[in-house]
Structure 1
């Protein structure tokens, strides 16, 4: 499959044919090419799934229910009233509920099996979980309180409601030491050991199934997959579907073999590994069952102590993970069950030995190892012996002292230099990432960044011509730039500082030896510079930096035309350029660049997921540019290809957050191109994008990009509801979006990206208020939008996008004033809008769809003369 144009042509032809004619048409068009047929069928399947989503789109009020809205069920679940949903699984839902029969006040977690779940295995699992929990009573296991069947026939049970955080979130937020993590883990082991004593294997141990209360008590949840040890024959029949969570499953679970307590021990080892390092030992993302088997059976897990804290998602205080912990974790993760700890108690005992400073049983008991442990436990006695020994050798030491003074001074200077080097790295790559998502952390982040810059500048002054150090410095300055002002990541809003840091990195990269890797990194640095200049308001400088990056990649491709890494990087940079042209309202040039990308993609191996991603997202950008350029019919065809393709890739890789974001972007662009042409379809795309954004924020609540996407999608829904004159719902959606953006901008007050979005929200709220005759309030919203646009225009007078926004806001103000019979004031606003739009038209920067607006306003102005 390497002929993208052929795929595109056949897909367009087949998608327009009748359903019953498609199979024969595919065969005739593909000429017996089975791979080509498979790709077309996959695209059609993805497109049909997307279209089916259109048909079942929820009403916007379902996305934005009133704050007091709950699912009211009266007494349908015994004495419990549902408050809100707190979790959802394949067979049922968990709700926060309150007891309402007057006996006593109590909040519970109410687990309900849906009526739609008719599968006997699922019903049996639900019943068994209730029975198992009834027999368990342990301080670290969530207790069963009640159970029954609702009036509508739905089984349910009420459990202790645990007001806590998932294990890893707890560790991430409170920053506990390694010792504290191990103490916490021992409590988890105690709960699992207790269930094993009661002949129950959990089989789904994972951090998400362990909540930790504010006082540090873990609670083990979800025994839905648990197995009773004495019921082995029956269980083997019931569980052939092999339900498990791949990231935390044992080899025997993945292979479908009989499980035992050793399976839970393996899962505990995975949890301990992640609790210590912030990373998982194996990458299961996007893997098939066969790949999982090979990965977990034959791959050797890394030692926790060998992982860099800078790459960890959990703060570990840069503590060293001792080798005894490596031994404990790796014993748990042995592929063969008989090589793991024999019981959870044995695992817990070894961790307690480690905490006490005693030898662990999992390690060979050599004399040297036991001696070191003895010395650590008996520091005073050992220290006394050492002092006596030192006294015997002092005389000899003095005679050597003078000869070593000069060498020590040199060594001290070198150590000081290396200490500063390590400290700068630690501040940037270990400490700052751990606080960047904390509310109110900007002053701390600013201080850390300022101190890091001091260290980096002092290192740069002494770096000389050391290529390794210079490369480190360039990477560090680029990281500083990202922390100061990268628009899609947590930053302190120091856009000018970000630009300066990227410039420092660029100056270093240009004097380094021009190896292929450094040339590539220099090109990437130009992309960062381009982005920083754009948000600083230097749109022309942004364009020039992109051209510099493209120039480097062009030269590298001339030397290595078949190098796939360079070709893909080149395509990504061209895509940046196409987006720059779109953002500058230069749509013909954007169209030209997109067509260039698609022509180049046709000659690359399209089985590469990055190539497929670029191919389909370029179709989305092309569709957007064509729509703004007045070529709507072609735009819709391009966007259909983009949506079907991105949906297909995402379906193949449902845990890939980048692909999820790109699908969100494609759906958002689709909503934009149908706006005011087919607003109902536009609303469907906006709601689909909102659904994707909601899933992303559920997976990563602190992800800055996910938070922006959900705010942006909420805004898009509000925009279309304004067009559909569903004013009340529109104002509600826009107000929700405004709240979200104010939360974002509160942590990054100088972020122009968020300012722009807030201005647009005010603009659309003004239009909504205009619809219901609230002219004064509408004018106030338009004026707030204008203030934000003018702030951006001051810093970037050449920004054509902002100039268009100012023109449109003046036009809307003129519309309002005209309706209020303030004709002179209306004519003044219209003239300001016409003047700016005419300038943009003369610069070839006015979208074709805006041109009729000029004529309309000029007619009004002419009547006033």
Structure 2
């Protein structure tokens, strides 16, 4: 709407004959406005020629200070800076000492009450502080024209970011310099001063004795927290910013400027650290400058910035190379260094809720130096509960309808893509339909991108959060619909972008299905992901990122094959994965990513060697992995991915030592594994994966303590494991991995109870375990692990029935053999499964022998030997030696059992099964009796 003053100006300019017509038009729209304009015109006419001529001569403007001018004892040399209200000059002081100083004076035309008050505040703020990294104030006064000035220490330096980049300071050197800045600000805060404009140009760095030294300058907009800096009150005009938007805290961006404290400076320090580490700012300063005040406020107060590592990964290749070079490091290494502690230190500073930031600049400096000392830092990712709470608070409606929207988009995309395929075919047949085909294809691609972007979120970031809190079942329907959708899309018809996006989503679906132990579905998802990744890799054979994605699919296919005991397929795919890792090194060099893939490739083959009984090769593979991990951790000691690998490596070495008969070494490795997990849990206490690993450690430790004849210690370890797993399973009943662990622990409980003759306590546990395992096997019959567990449960049931008056032990052991036999015949049995099957055959023979069926008993014991024989040569694995020695002794071939019993005794082996212990002890006594000849 046109303002009154604009209409008034128009009326003045209009000829008198036209002025009435203009007023008539205004009156038709707004009578009150016409009356106001007429009053203004009348007043103007009455004023006549008042003030057309000046009542006094115009003031002669004060000249700008220039080099050579003298202000009191200071001679100006050159202008070196200009701020919002003052100009800074390099000057020379001649008395009482001769030195160069920086002299700041109010700019011409800026000597309003508010600006002078602000300037006076700066002068007094600096005078209150005495810190080597804060520029000192020497003097203050006024120029001949009455404009205030002050004299401060001259810093012959450059902004901290430019200094660090020009001298290519490393990340560690930048952090040391930054910590000093934090401590300088802490001194100011203790004096009650908030800087409120921390940015690189206000932190100058110069070398002193070869050491970079920072100086914090320009407290021109500082605010006192304990007392007023001046007798006047400095009021910030509503709508005006005090500070620099790109470095401004959310509360500082708010119009309620009275609610600012030292944590606002902590936020700005976080922005500065963000820039020092990753070469950019959380928010694009150019975009902010082009935004209105309201949009700037909204951005700062509501938009969550990316972590430094995420921002860096999204830059162009040239930018990544340039930024990494300025830090004396390769781009992949810089990305790795930023991840973890540094990401979280920065993001804690940038919390929108200031109560979640560091409370002081001192705390920030302390955490930075903890990181430099390779100590645990106080900064942590926000807890899952907090993230979910905040996410839901911001997106309540979206959370309520996300699943519906996802399914709608997916189904809509299927229809659209079908239309696109038909349109493409039509394009090939008839050129006249080309335009229509293009329109249909463009629309389909847009819908496809929308659906796949949502899928990537739900199966990626959202899945990660659900996994941590144990709620993966929420994605079941999404996964089913997504697989139906992807089945409609032949890889050859997809763009590079679609292939990459879909390969990632399919891999995520496979991981969800794997967590649920749905191996057929997981294998199908991973194979489909491989088809897309391989198609893309064939199009771009020299692209490391694409090769990496193909390798992930190869790994997961091999992993599922191993879980299903399909060892030939597992070796084939894991060999492919290892070869892809070596190819990645040839493409991008010894980057952390490529080296880690090689480590994984070697480790996976070592696991296969161990599963097949080649323990020497397995141990060498795991030791090579540990050497590589130690080398990488020396550079990035807080890398969570590497520390997770340490956990698995310690477990692998422990299992290898156990199966090689070195129980003390195995126990040492498992305790080391537990210590690594405890550290990870201390850092991320709510992450369920670490809790599962802790339970796994306790199970391993308990089993070794059983083998070493320490039943009381073993009982405590198993109880601890069960407490953890019970809690997790109640939290997420659909997680099959956790359910499998529960059944394993319960089987160990029953075994220990039967060993001491406590069948009464064992019975309800075993009944529940049988029911749960039976249900799990029905849901996933391809799982060799679950099937072997069910066979073990029926063997224990047979032992339990044999302890009571009722019969039925033979029926139970027949069920155990029935479940184990297909695994043996299909070649899907590892040493554990073979040993367990042999124990069932031995127990069946004992039952037959007790009934006088000697021939049947011998048949079962001979078969047990046949199952074990291929693995016995040179084996130290108690799972094979124990049942083999039992079978030989029961067959009367005690002398043949001697090598096995000798080995077991040398290892310090203790059989928990009383029948087995009695048989092995009898054999040991027999072979050591005096000779009769």
Give the aligned partner of residue 315 of structure 1. none
Q: Which of 495, 517, 521 lines up with 1:515 in the alignment?
A: 495
Give the aligned partner of residue 40 of structure 1. none
Give the aligned partner of residue 774 of structure 1. 758
In the TM superposition, 1:417-816 aligns within 5 A as 436-437=384-385, 449-457=399-407, 465=443, 467-468=445-446, 470-481=448-459, 483=462, 488-492=467-471, 493-494=473-474, 496-500=476-480, 502-503=482-483, 506=486, 514-536=494-516, 538-603=518-583, 604-605=585-586, 607-676=590-659, 677-816=661-800
Give the aligned partner of residue 437 of structure 2. none
Contact 2:776 2:786 in 1 (8 A): yes
Contact 1:630 1:849 in 2 (8 A): no
Q: Output the CA distance in 2 between the equivalents of 1:738 and 1:198.
A: 59
Give the aligned partner of residue 394 of structure 1. none
Give the aligned partner of residue 835 of structure 1. 818
CA offsets, 1:682-703, max 9 Å, x none? 2222111111111111122223
Deviation at 1:612, TM superposition (A): 1.9
Q: Secondary structure at the match of 1:846?
A: coil
Give the aligned partner of residue 357 of structure 2. none
CA offsets, 1:139-174, max 9 Å, x none? xxxxxxxxxxxxxxxxxxxxxxxxxxxxxxxxxxxx
Q: Secondary structure at the match of 2:569?
A: helix
Deviation at 1:508, TM superposition (A): 8.8
Deviation at 1:656, TM superposition (A): 0.9
Deviation at 1:821, TM superposition (A): 6.0
Give the aligned partner of residue 122 of structure 1. none
Change (3 A) 1:768 1:334: farther
Contact 2:452 2:501 in 1 (8 A): no
Change (3 A) 1:355 1:668: farther
The count of residues paired between Structure 1 and Structure 2 equals: 517
1:362 aligns with 2:243: yes
Deviation at 1:845, TM superposition (A): 1.4
Q: Output the CA distance in 2 between the equivalents of 1:353 and 1:689.
A: 60
In the TM superposition, 1:120-519 aligns within 5 A as 251=174, 253-254=176-177, 262=184, 264=186, 337-338=214-215, 340=217, 342=219, 346=223, 357=238, 359-362=240-243, 436-437=384-385, 449-457=399-407, 465=443, 467-468=445-446, 470-481=448-459, 483=462, 488-492=467-471, 493-494=473-474, 496-500=476-480, 502-503=482-483, 506=486, 514-519=494-499
Which entry has the higher C-alpha Rg, 1 or 2? Answer: 2
Contact 1:477 1:505 in 2 (8 A): no
Change (3 A) 1:375 1:787: closer
Change (3 A) 1:734 1:467: same
Contact 2:203 2:215 in 1 (8 A): no
Q: Output the CA distance in 2 between the equivalents of 1:597 and 1:267.
A: 55
Q: Output the CA distance in 1 between the equivalents of 2:736 and 2:682.
A: 26
Q: What TM-score, normalized by structure 2, do the two folds share?
A: 0.48
CA offsets, 1:356-397, max 9 Å, x none? 957454359xxxxxxx999999xxxxxxxxxxxxxxxxxxxx
Q: Output the CA distance in 2 between the equivalents of 1:807 and 1:348.
A: 72
Contact 2:133 2:215 in 1 (8 A): no
Identify which range, 457-466 or 553-562, moves more after superposition. Answer: 457-466
Contact 1:597 1:618 in 2 (8 A): yes
Deviation at 1:840, TM superposition (A): 1.3
Q: Output the CA distance in 2 between the equivalents of 1:440 and 1:816.
A: 47
Contact 2:654 2:670 in 1 (8 A): yes
Change (3 A) 1:344 1:672: farther
Q: Output the CA distance in 2 between the equivalents of 1:435 and 1:614.
A: 30
Change (3 A) 1:826 1:511: same
Q: Output the CA distance in 2 between the equivalents of 1:686 and 1:626.
A: 20
Change (3 A) 1:522 1:679: same
Change (3 A) 1:459 1:830: closer
Deviation at 1:548, TM superposition (A): 2.1
Give the aligned partner of residue 845 of structure 2. 859
Change (3 A) 1:774 1:861: closer
Q: Output the CA distance in 1 between the equivalents of 2:755 and 2:177.
A: 59
Q: Output the CA distance in 1 between the equivalents of 2:234 and 2:559.
A: 59
CA offsets, 1:378-423, max 9 Å, x none? xxxxxxxxxxxxxxxxxxxxxxxxxxxxxxxxxxxxxxxxxxxx99
Q: Output the CA distance in 1 between the equivalents of 2:646 and 2:522.
A: 26
Q: Output the CA distance in 2 between the equivalents of 1:739 and 1:705.
A: 15
Deviation at 1:528, TM superposition (A): 2.1
Deviation at 1:848, TM superposition (A): 4.2
Change (3 A) 1:255 1:714: same
Contact 1:617 1:662 in 2 (8 A): no
Contact 1:690 1:710 in 2 (8 A): yes
- Higher RCO (C-alpha under 8 Å, 6+ residues apart): 1
CA offsets, 1:172-210, max 9 Å, x none? xxxxxxxxxxxxxxxxxxxxx99x97978999xxxxxxx
Q: Output the CA distance in 1 between the equivalents of 2:805 and 2:616.
A: 40
Contact 1:730 1:768 in 2 (8 A): no
Q: What TM-score, normalized by structure 1, do the two folds share?
A: 0.51
Q: Secondary structure at the match of 2:385?
A: coil
Q: Output the CA distance in 2 between the equivalents of 1:202 and 1:723.
A: 63
Deviation at 1:501, TM superposition (A): 5.2
Change (3 A) 1:522 1:360: closer
Give the aligned partner of residue 114 of structure 1. none
Q: CA RMSD in A?
A: 5.0
Q: Output the CA distance in 2 between the equivalents of 1:375 and 1:615.
A: 55
